[in-house]
A and B are shown apart, each in its own frame.
Chain A
Amino acid sequence: MKIGSLRAALAALCSVLSWQACAAGDPVVIGDIDDLSGVYADAQGQGGIEAINMAIADFGGMVLGRKIVLLTADHQNKPDIGATKFREWADQSGLNLALGGSNTGVNIAMSKVAAAKKVPLIVIGAGGSSLTGADCTPYSIHYVYDTTSLANGTASTIIKAGGKSWFFLTADYAFGTQLQDSATRVVTANGGKVLGSVRVPLGATDFSSFLLQAQSSGAQVLGLANAGTDFSNSLKGADEFGITKTMKPAALLAFISDIHSLTLQTAQGLYLTTSFYWDLNDETRAFGKRFFAKMKREPTMDHAGAYSATLQYLKAVKAAGSTDSDKVMAELKKAKLNDLFVKNGYVRADGLMVHTMYVMQVKTPAESKYPWDYYKVIRVMTGEEAYGSQPDPACSFAKQ
């Protein structure tokens, strides 16, 4: 009798107090911190939240007998907001896993919190390869794509097709400069030359001046080291000024949402690198169909990646029998990852998830037979070709 009432009182206390106070009834808390309203909101954004929820539902909504809870926040592309939210959830909400959305700058700030709070951070939508290099932590995983793999895909394909001299139009922040650096390495390693570059402020309203500078450089290839509406607007401008007649544009990062909004008329012929396309096989088509039913558009690689990352994390928790960060990270780093997004992927010592990447070419309007029929596969890169099999030497703890 006494024990019974004590237990009831404890349970009541548990529901009033924060999660940590009562270990047994803890939910597993996943936090998604992403650009939900700004220029990158279509690449992941609300669709990413939907994909994470799909993964949680597919896993049964429970792991280790505990309920799985998803928290979401809009980082507004501001590193301080992303880091503060991460810290707040880690301190007050019992956060077990953070999923990092778009924007390399924000994710670099969040990886510092991951290291300090020992909470795993799986980066989905950001590209900067420093996340598993100079900015690596034992608790970060870079999951969907990085600037190295994008450059290895798109830049090397274009050079082999004869585009030897390059001019870069670069978004003036961590992501853009890292993408340009990665692409420059690939260009020079393959006997090409970089004739110049111009750093464009993020969210510039007009790109024509920068495009004119690119044109007067006489380079054969216009390397677009930017993303989102910056990418769309620079490609639109290049088309309008007739620059695409003399220079070949290279999309160093383009999502299917960008191609959709640009239309095939403007984007046709473009080479790009992606880790996912909805129309690759039956499995991806089935995921595309489910996603489309909810979001009225086909998933980007970030959407599929957010689904996969959530699923693989939950599998690792189940295998480890615990949400302890070190145990789950060890599990993730030794497992072979397999689902609709990744086949035989693995997490390198520095935290990079090595997986297949596809070099695509955008179809012409005549080649496209049905809605969202946008890409043809030009080249399939193994994970090692795309990312390299050795850990980044810039990552301090991954050194052998």
Chain B
Amino acid sequence: MSSVFGVPLPAILGQLTLGLVNGSFYALLSLGLAVIFGLLGIVNFAHGAFYMLGAFAAYIGLQTFGVNYWWALLLAPLVVGLLGVLIERLFLRHLYRLDPLYGLLLTFGVALIFEGIMRDQFGASGKSYPVPPLLRGVFDLGFMVLPIYRAWVVVASLAVCAMTWFLIERTRLGARLRAATENARLVQAFGINVPLMVMGTYGGGVALAALAGVLAAPVVQVSPLMGSSLVIVVFAVVVIGGMGSIVGAIVSGLVLGLIEGLTKVVYPEASNIVVFVIMALVLMWRPAGLFGREQ
């Protein structure tokens, strides 16, 4: 059997496929973070908590209201996004003129509060969310079996990433958003409601996190701490891609998923630090990240 560095080829292909699945999650989560940071300058530490709330919204929807998976994909981001809007209105709004550190501290506090509430309500070991009937079963790829659901995750998140990129980089609304980040007062002078756009952007970024949460609900235990372990990795992904760069977030999310997948075969113990090692190296070589612009 052919092998690379003593690891059989089918194993490598399998790990690369799984890396792609995990990379899609990273891409989707880091995309929301990048949008929020790029356009608002907020370091949104509550991103992991919104991801967790998205998963719980799907779980509660199913258990209490009989809302199925497909509706949850639509409704959970909407509900959690509205929560984000509320937080922006009530709290974040007052911090825009201050050092970004204040936003970081506020969102970190918000994350702790949400995690505490959910732990109190649902316990630390979390809840199980079933895979939707339509996506049960596996594809046999020859070198591995891939659950249909995981393939769906890749397709869905890449589609959402592409749509978000298109919305921000190629539409009139996106152009206004980008202009508002460059010079808010000037854009406002043209009669554009900048505060409303900012609020919508935060809500949109939060909704992306919640969507990732719904996508993750059937594959991981829906638990209050599911976001806090992920958010640090996702931050590293954003930093590697270049803070605020949309393309950077998507590309580095996918690539780091793949690299992490390979690490899990070669030296599993290092799989949770490899992303940070890469982050350190990238920052030494390009302080603004791979796709970031030097200020």
Which residue numbers of A lie inside 8 Å of B, CB to CB? 37-43, 45, 172, 198-201, 203-206, 208-210, 212-213, 216, 228-229, 232-233, 236-237, 240-242, 257-258, 260-263, 265-266, 297
Contact = CB atoms under 8 A, between A and B. Distances in A.
B230 interface: yes
A206 B22 contact: yes
B62 to A, nearest CB: 13
A208 B15 CA distance: 9
Contacts of A228: 124-125
Given A203-B229, A208-B18, 15 more contacts: A41-B123, A172-B269, A201-B271, A201-B272, A212-B11, A212-B18, A216-B10, A229-B125, A237-B219, A240-B131, A242-B138, A242-B147, A261-B123, A262-B128, A266-B128
A256 to B, nearest CB: 10
Contact of B220 (A42, A205, A242): A205
B52 to A, nearest CB: 12
Most central of B8, B116, B125, B261 by chain A CB within 10 Å? B125
B127 A261 contact: yes
Interface string B18-46: 11011000000000000000000000000
Most central of A205, A232, A236, A237 by chain B CB within 10 Å? A205
Contacts of A213: 11, 264-265, 268
A204 B22 CA distance: 12
Q: Contact size class for B?
A: 35 or more
Most central of A45, A206, A242, A262 by chain B CB within 10 Å? A206
21 contacts: A37-B116, A37-B119, A38-B225, A203-B225, A204-B272, A206-B18, A206-B220, A208-B18, A209-B15, A209-B265, A212-B15, A213-B11, A216-B10, A216-B11, A216-B14, A232-B221, A233-B221, A237-B219, A240-B149, A240-B219, A242-B147
B145 interface: yes
Nearest to B145: A242
Contacts of A266: 128
B144 interface: yes
B223 interface: yes
A236 B125 contact: no
B133 to A, nearest CB: 13
Interface in B130-156: 130-131, 138, 144-145, 147, 149-150
Nearest to B268: A198
Contacts of B124: 37-42, 45, 228-229
Contacts of A209: 15, 18-19, 261, 264-265, 268, 271
Most central of B10, B149, B265, B268 by chain A CB within 10 Å? B268
Interface in B201-260: 219-221, 223, 225-226, 229-230, 233
Interface string B110-124: 000000100100011
Contact of B268 (A45, A200, A229): A200
Given A199-B269, A229-B225, A212 B144 contact: yes
A41 B18 CA distance: 30
Given A242-B145, A258-B125, A208 B21 contact: yes
A257 B22 CA distance: 28
Nearest to B127: A261
Given A210-B264, A241-B145, A204 B271 contact: yes
Contacts of B174: none
A382 B2 CA distance: 51
B126 interface: yes
A358 B223 CA distance: 29
Contacts of B226: 205, 229
Contacts of A203: 225, 229
B229 A205 contact: yes
Nearest to B14: A212
A240 B147 contact: yes
A302 to B, nearest CB: 13
B246 to A, nearest CB: 23
A229 B11 contact: no
A102 to B, nearest CB: 10
A229 B223 contact: yes
A199 B225 contact: no
Contacts of A198: 268
Contacts of A212: 11, 14-15, 18, 144
A223 to B, nearest CB: 15
A174 to B, nearest CB: 14
A174 B147 CA distance: 33
B6 to A, nearest CB: 14
B128 A205 contact: no
Nearest to A203: B229
Contacts of A297: 123
Contact of B123 (A42, A216, A236, A237): A42
